[in-house]
Amino acid sequence: MAQLCLGLATSHLAHIVNARQLGDPAQVAAFDAGYRRLAAALATAAPDVALIVSAEHVNKFFIDNMPAFCIGMFNAFSGPAEARKRKDYGIPYRPVPSEPHFARYLVERGLDEGVDWAIAENWEVDHGIMVPLSRLDPDGRHPMVPVFINCAAPPLPSPRRCYAVGRWLGEAIAGWDRDKRVAIIATGGLSHSVGTAQQGWIDEDFDRRFLADFCAGRDEALAALSDHEINATGSATGEIRSWIMLAGAFAGRKAEQVLYEPIRGFETGCAQCIIA
């Protein structure tokens, strides 16, 4: 049977690849070091496949047909969409191998068990997936199955629902009758705003409380967060739904905090964790 072998969580902002000069050098260096830790953990865990869970920034998913949750089901995907339009984006536009059989298993099992995944059979991903992968797996050694959570176009799936889907993922992976090692990578957050007057403000108090709960395995505290509480910390902080889903998959397991840096020049509370 399959085994959930590793969980990683990281902020996914593109500043780390194309606007590094805006951040305090010591903080940026810590962020880089954190990525190296996470990459080493991924290499050591050697998963046969990883889910990479992220918000998306209204590049592919639009309000004419906006799912709450979507799985990519294909042999490979490409990105970031931003690099196709901007040659100096900082990371190359490239293909990433995926694993359609695992994706299909999750979709079919989910449809049977009350997690009605939308399916994307073609998906040009954006920086939310490709910036972390540029640091964690630049050579595309590990097949990645992208998972989308709507964090950009309200109404959004609740943190409690994201946690429950995460719990279901953990059980579904354990129930997969393949002798495979599976990792989950959650990207996004922590507190930040994009496209509102709050942009630039970081809610350090919220971020530190969130990380403390995440690392202590206090899952109920994560699941109980309300939309209102999250939105008060930043218009884009809702991306932490991917972290909450990851916490659900590991069901109370403690995590190691690798990084928390409120990087003013990046306008984001930047964080990274490992669940091993």
Point out the residues that are catalytic.
127, 192
Contact 217, 208 (CB under 8 A): no
According to the binding rule CB under 8 A, does residue 198 interact with another protein?
Answer: yes
The residue among 67, 184, 69, 61 whose CA lies nearest residue 124 is: 61
* 193 near another protein, judged by CB under 8 A: yes
Indicate which single residue of 21, 64, 139, 228 sits in contact with another protein (rule: CB under 8 A): 64
Residues 6+ apart with CB under 8 A from 135: 16, 35, 36, 38, 39
Q: How many CB atoms lie within 10 A of CB 102?
A: 24
Q: Which of 89, 69, 123, 273 is nearest to 187 (CA)?
A: 273
Site stretch for another protein (CB under 8 A), options 58-66, 98-106, 169-177, 246-254: 58-66
Residues near 44 by Cβ (< 8 Å), separated by ≥ 6? Answer: none
> Near another protein by CB under 8 A, which window of 71-79, 107-115, 187-195, 246-254?
187-195
Which residue, 59 or 272, has its beta carbon nearer to another protein? 59
If the CB atoms of residues 124 and 171 are measured against another protein, the closer one turns out to be 124
169 binds another protein (CB under 8 A): no
Q: How many CB atoms lie within 10 A of CB 113?
A: 12
Decide whether 154 or 252 has the Cβ nearer to another protein.
154
Q: Is 29 in the site for another protein (CB under 8 A)?
A: no
Q: Which positions ≥6 away from 128 have C-beta within 8 Å?
A: 12, 54, 55, 56, 57, 187, 188, 239
Among 32, 196, 205, 216, binds another protein (CB under 8 A): 196
65 touching another protein, by CB under 8 A: yes
- Of residues 131 through 160, those in contact with another protein by CB under 8 A are 152-153
Residues that bind another protein (CB under 8 A): 22, 57-58, 60-65, 85, 124, 152-153, 193-200, 235-236
